[in-house]
Chain A
């Protein structure tokens, strides 16, 4: 039982890391009033671009270097995701297209692009791997991760898992302590007010959406090169994770710090079906698996109900979320 609890945590944390990136990126985006439902698509774009660049670097370079590999993959993942965010921004901010429709279209688009170009990399085989990149991204802390169970639970993940924690703290600080963060929140709450205060609403929306997309894309990158052991093949799960990240945003009530424990909780709940039998000593029929995997969504609905009942303004989504802003509209 003890060992299965540890195995459970070791499963849940990387899983949580993926959706934490997705949720943090989407929180940043939504704070600007843009409801980007293209998170799964953007995670595909980021994951694929990161994998493809690392894969080609490994196969084409005579003596591939792990550090260069990381940099190449990160840069490509960020650029591809930002391109996705830019498409969304252009459509919803400049052309004022409907945000829901655009986001859903972006999800389909991102999946399509990744799977289409993936075919060329797979080149007929059932999977393609980037082992060097995987090793670089999944490298554990040398000494600390060997320090028994505690070391395992705390230090046996790739560097991106820790970067996600740092990012959550940085975002919290950014939203509450900086001028730009305050301005951004004003844009998402009441763009007319922000505009009247001389804040460039369009610029803020573009920037938040593109940077948010880049963060989402890191989730995709982490999924492929670390969580999925550097293999491009069985990547259908990215979409499910993308939607889970969107649910996590609601769960956190748009607060980055909540994303940390929320993401791990979601990870625990998602993998509960595998560890429940050994923890409780019972057998769970396979039909129950899907039901148990639904738990994160059930929890999200529960949070929505509680938040709605308490009617606290601070826990509500940005007031102008999902709406386009046009200065001269009356």
Chain B
């Protein structure tokens, strides 16, 4: 019996951005009727590689074959013509268009332009796969998962038979993920080739037939999923065995730094996005904050940092190390709070949005937090430059130069710059949100180590995290938010994953443990 046909084959494909090599001599193939998982750490070049297949980037070297014929994919249109459809991590949708209009954009040129027909055909697709999608809704009114559904419908509408999904489950609930996987399996049964990029190892193991691994832009190898385990995959991905134990020193003389009482934040719709939060924060310990995303974490940190207005009656008392009288933070400006030593290293979903200026280099981004220092009207460039150099060394930021705009760096590297800068500012209270989101395992450990160093120095660390295992291994206490309420504070050493998970999803009646 003949081998199943190669839908796509890459041969020694290379791509560089400036001096950074994103992909080097990558050879890889995917067959029809196969789901290939593409695995790799951040910045390992997965998305770049897929973008070359989708025609977004053009390879500097190497050859791409579709159905074993050499092809030249110069543009996304070429890719579409070859039946290659990619669902990007960042949605490619026009906000002011309806779902139908967005679908119409990817129509075949030969097809007659009739929005009503597009609508009907798209509805048939939605019904076939049971997508819940209002085809007349404007995209800017849609939720993230609706937008992704629309992206998938778009590709299916176009009749793509080679499907690339770039981290599709990152924004989905478990139920939505299951539904997506069902769709992917249907497409596989249809004889389509599917490449899925994901970080979540259990998803890799449940959905794929074969796993291909990239490391630092190079192809490491592939393995049939049935022979793979999480530890084998992790080893292939990072290249060395990673000790999974996160260091957790015992807090020494914890001192109360923040006393938060009756903190309520009213959201734009008038609801209490944060409801009556009551807790203390101690120096010399790490307070973890667990919760399903959107349950008040952002508002809590921003209220402390002075970026959100607290409802009347709230008290946030700060106990500075050098005086006995507490300072009331409610009503103070973000700048005054920052100068008191309370630092927010907020890592937003859009890494460049809130923390860094994309078009500026590392040095200039360091300066954003120090421009007010000194009396001379001329800013000091030396100190920020040294700091940038230090962060580059310490965290291993991959950048051609300190002056390369940070928007040119990969997501993980951008995050290293952001976190590194906040850690370097000698805070008294350090708040981090999703500090390791999107970072590879090694860098995550570096961040954990740095947080522990801060803790040993007596800093009060607030760590908002997503990964329960990390929270349980890193934090001294874990505060659980559910629906904007503090749903218990557990001891990080004795709490179980089930207990935290339960409190994240169900309000416990006798709140305040």
Contact = CB atoms under 8 A, between A and B. Distances in A.
Contact of A197 (B57, B106, B140): B106
B148 to A, nearest CB: 14
B97 interface: yes
Contact of A313 (B75, B96, B101): B96
A86 B80 CA distance: 30
A198 B92 contact: no
B96 A198 contact: no
Given A182-B104, A327-B56, A199 B77 contact: yes
Tell me the dominant secondary structure on chain A's binding face: helix
B95 interface: yes
A202 B35 CA distance: 35
Interface string A187-198: 001101111111
B256 to A, nearest CB: 43
A203 to B, nearest CB: 11
A67 B434 CA distance: 72
A330 B77 contact: no
Given A194-B105, A195-B75, A185 B94 contact: yes
Given A178-B113, A179-B113, A327-B56, A199 B96 contact: no
A148 B37 CA distance: 78
B92 A330 contact: no
Residue in B56, B80, B94, B113 with the greatest tally of chain A CB atoms within 10 Å: B94
Nearest to A193: B92
Q: Which of B96, B104, B408 has the most CB of A within 10 A?
A: B96
Contacts of B106: 197-198
Contacts of B104: 179, 182
Nearest to A198: B77
B314 interface: no
B93 interface: yes
B138 interface: yes
A24 B247 CA distance: 66
A290 interface: no
A65 to B, nearest CB: 41
A236 interface: no
Interface in A58-72: none
A192 B95 CA distance: 13
A193 B86 CA distance: 12
Given A179-B107, A193-B94, A198 B75 contact: yes
Nearest to A315: B96
Contacts of A328: 17, 56-57
Nearest to B93: A193
A195 B88 CA distance: 13
A314 B139 CA distance: 12
B88 A186 contact: no
Interface in B76-118: 76-81, 86, 88, 92-97, 101, 104-107, 113
Interface string B311-328: 000000000000000000
B95 A190 contact: yes
A183 interface: yes
B25 to A, nearest CB: 20
A193 to B, nearest CB: 4
B54 A196 contact: yes
A278 B79 CA distance: 68
B407 A200 contact: no
A226 B17 CA distance: 56
A185 B94 CA distance: 9
Interface string A246-279: 0000000000000000000000000000000000
B96 A197 contact: no
A313 B93 contact: no
Contact of A192 (B80, B92, B138): B92
A314 B57 CA distance: 32
B159 to A, nearest CB: 13
Contacts of B77: 198-200
A313 B113 contact: no
A323 interface: no
Contacts of A185: 94, 97
A189 B97 contact: yes
Contacts of A186: 94, 97, 105
B140 A189 contact: no
B56 A196 contact: yes
A279 B251 CA distance: 85
Most buried by B among A190, A194, A196, A319: A196
B372 to A, nearest CB: 30
A182 to B, nearest CB: 6
B432 to A, nearest CB: 25
A315 B59 CA distance: 40
B92 A189 contact: no
Interface in A189-246: 189-190, 192-200
B53 to A, nearest CB: 13
B140 A313 contact: yes
A174 to B, nearest CB: 12
B408 A190 contact: no
Given A182-B105, A186-B105, A198 B80 contact: yes
Which of A192, A193, A200 has the most chain B CB within a 10 Å cutoff?
Answer: A193
A194 B407 CA distance: 22
Contacts of A314: 96
A283 to B, nearest CB: 49
Nearest to A314: B96
A213 B80 CA distance: 32
A257 B392 CA distance: 56
A273 B113 CA distance: 49
Interface of B: 17, 54, 56-57, 75-81, 86, 88, 92-97, 101, 104-107, 113, 138, 140, 407-408
13 contacts: A182-B97, A183-B105, A185-B97, A189-B95, A193-B92, A193-B93, A193-B94, A194-B94, A196-B86, A198-B75, A200-B77, A313-B95, A330-B17
For the complex of A and B, 7 pairs with smallest distance between CB atoms: A198-B77, A179-B113, A193-B92, A197-B105, A196-B92, A189-B94, A197-B106
Given A189-B95, A192-B92, A196-B54, 15 more contacts: A182-B104, A185-B94, A186-B97, A186-B105, A190-B92, A194-B94, A197-B105, A198-B79, A198-B80, A198-B106, A200-B77, A313-B138, A313-B140, A328-B17, A328-B57
